Amino acid sequence: MIAANPIAQRAEPTKGLLSVVSPVYGCEGCLEELVHRITAAVLPTGMALEILLVNDGSPDGSWQRIVELAEHLPNVRGLRLSRNFGQHYAIAAGIEHARGEWVAVLDCDLQDLPEELPKLLDAALAGNEIVFAQRIDRQDTAFKRLTSYTFYRLLSYLTEVKYDHSIANFGIFSRKVIDTVNRMPESDRFFPLMIKWTGFRTATVPVEHAMRQHGTSSYSLRKLIRLALNVVLSYSDKPLRLVVKLGLMFSLVSIAFVAFSVYRYLLGDVAVAGFTSIVASIWLIGSVTIFCTGITGLYIGRLFNDAKRRPYYIVSEEVTSSERRA
């Protein structure tokens, strides 16, 4: 099965069903525990449950493990992407295939505790369309906390949307919210920003955060910087406005310098221009021009990517239990 436009193929949502979407990369050893803990947490709430495990081109045996779980557990479905597209694209694949009235998203590494799902569900059923989990005491390395904090501060400044670095993808969202996000046409996906943009009634719930026991984070500093750049270029025009302000500033400085030079000329106090000042001016103006051209070029590149209208993920295989197929 190959699906590049799953939105048109998605079945009607099922009342009373909670879909739990988890992108999978490098977590072969924790998938069985993840499924059992999600099931144990959700079933006492009275909600029906489906679990969607989205294999994002994981290099280990995660897909084989997903197939085994889906074959034996009727509430487990597996999606296999044709290659590694990235976490937020794997989430997009999961939520576009989810059938639930409510959709939860959590990472597969068990740092997001499945036992917190009932707490989030209670907040959702209290009248909130969006419920984010807030990790009060993050159990990450100091380097990861620092890079995450820096990433979200930069993102907040450039996108002009306030972000809390203790909030990520973990949360529960109504069908209305999920359908709205699924209809967004942009090819660059960043799940929490798209959720926030919808503007539906939102709540945050403090949750516990666990140490990572399985695998390692796929987000290096380089990948975080690249993600931040992609998000800013896709969801904000502030860099362009900063370029305009920079141009105006240099124009004012240039006008002031010309006025000063004319004033000195009228006073008869004109010296031969120095080589250092000329070279410095050329290098400064040249570097600013290249920088501004580069910013504009990045935005044009984003328009080029969107104009190609390629799918932002491809599902090469889907697996469900034989009981469900019957």
pLDDT tens across 212-254, in order? 666 566 666 677 677 777 777 777 777 777 777 777 787 777 7
Which residues does 136 contact at the CB level (< 8 Å), separation at least 6?
Answer: 166, 206, 207, 208, 209
- 6-147+162-218+314-325 maps to CATH 3.90.550.10: yes
Q: Is the pLDDT of residue 304 over 70?
A: yes
- Dist. CA 130–CA 133, nearest whole Å: 10
- pLDDT band of residue 63 (cuts 50, 70, 90) is very high
pTM: 0.76
Higher-scoring residue by pLDDT: 153, 196: 196
Backbone angles phi, psi at 168, to 5 degrees: -125, -120
- What is the C-alpha separation between 279 and 245, in angstroms, rounded? 24
User: Is residue 286 predicted with pLDDT exceeding 60?
Assistant: yes
What's the CA gap between 29 and 26, in Å, rounded? 8
* β partners of residue 207: 135
CB-side neighbour CA atoms (13 Å) of 109: 16
Q: Does the structure show a pLDDT above 60 at 97?
A: yes
Strand order in the sheet with 48-55: 202-207, 130-135, 167-174, 100-105, 14-24, 48-55, 76-81, 315-319
> In the structure, what pLDDT confidence band is assigned to residue 319 with cuts at 50, 70 and 90?
very high
Compute φ and ψ for 320, nearest 5 degrees: -135, 170
SS3 201: coil
Q: Over range 153-167, report the average pLDDT.
A: 77
In the chain, where the domains are located: 6-147+162-218+314-325, 238-307
State both tokens at 325.
């197929």
Q: Indicate the helix (H) or strand (E) that contains 51.
A: strand 48-55
Minimal CA–CA distance to 288: which of 324, 314, 249, 318? 249
Residue 102 pLDDT grade (very low, low, confident, very high; cuts 50, 70, 90): very high
- pLDDT over 70 (residue 273): no
Report DSSP letters for 10-49, one per residue.
PPPPEEEEEEEEEEESS-GGGHHHHHHHHHHHHGGGT-EE
CA distance 147 to 43: 37
pLDDT for 41 beyond 70: yes
Higher pLDDT, 232 or 6: 232
Please list the residues that pair with 174 across neighbouring strands: 102
Buried b (16+ CB within 10 A) or exposed e, 281-319: eeeeeeeeeeebeebeeeeeebeebeeeeeebbbbebbb
Give dist(CA 164, CA 88) in Å, integer: 18
CA distance linking residue 270 with residue 273, whole number of Å: 9
